[in-house]
Amino acid sequence: MKSLVIYFSRPGNNWAVGYIEKGNTEVIAEYIRQFTGADLFKCDPVKPYSEDYAKCTEEAMAYKKADARPELKKYLDDISGYDVIYIGGPIYWGELPYEVYTELDRLDFKGKTVKPFSTHEGSGLGNVESVLKRKCVGASVKKGLAIQGGSVNSDFAKKQVKNWVE
């Protein structure tokens, strides 16, 4: 069974954790890889968000208002070789960053198993499960996993990921 993780994550200044070299969601994506052997695909925007937290929230709100599809540095067009697709990111204003939508809009999910995940500071999965059910047409969307961003580097978070992927 081959799996893939499609995710977004942003280093820099963030809520609750201060400055981080590696984004919280990236830590979770790497746990998934460790436990499943999944390939990782990061939705990496051509225009990165500001390192400043407050500015970043404004940029994310502008994308939301415009229903934007920010351009990515590279794209993935074929997921036919994968059975299970993990899709995740930080919660931005209640949902996934729009970079993830840019990528999802290009893919054919027919027959795939989709497992949603998020990192957050209170919103849990936000609308992620319902949006993925709508966007990943033909996929079976499973129960998602939400992990608090400030806790990703703990044994507890790692164990939660292990239990969930199994």
Query: Whole-angstrom Cα distance, residue 101 to residue 143?
Result: 19
State which of positions 35-64 bind ligand FMN (CB under 6 A). Answer: 53, 56-57, 60
Closest residue by Cα to residue 18 from 97, 118, 121, 154: 121
Q: Under the criterion CB under 6 A, does residue 160 sit at the interface with ligand FMN?
A: no
Q: Which stretch binds ligand FMN (CB under 6 A): 67-75, 106-114, 116-124, 158-166?
A: 116-124
Backbone angle region of 148, left / alpha / beta, with phi > 0 → left and psi within -120 to 50 → alpha: beta
Q: Which stretch binds ligand FMN (CB under 6 A): 9-17, 64-72, 78-86, 130-138?
A: 9-17
Closest to ligand FMN by CB, 85 or 91: 91
Q: Which stretch binds ligand FMN (CB under 6 A): 84-92, 98-106, 134-142, 153-161?
A: 84-92
Q: Under the criterion CB under 6 A, does residue 92 sit at the interface with ligand FMN?
A: yes
| Contacts to ligand FMN by CB under 6 A | 9-10, 14-15, 23-26, 53, 56-57, 60, 90-94, 119-123, 149
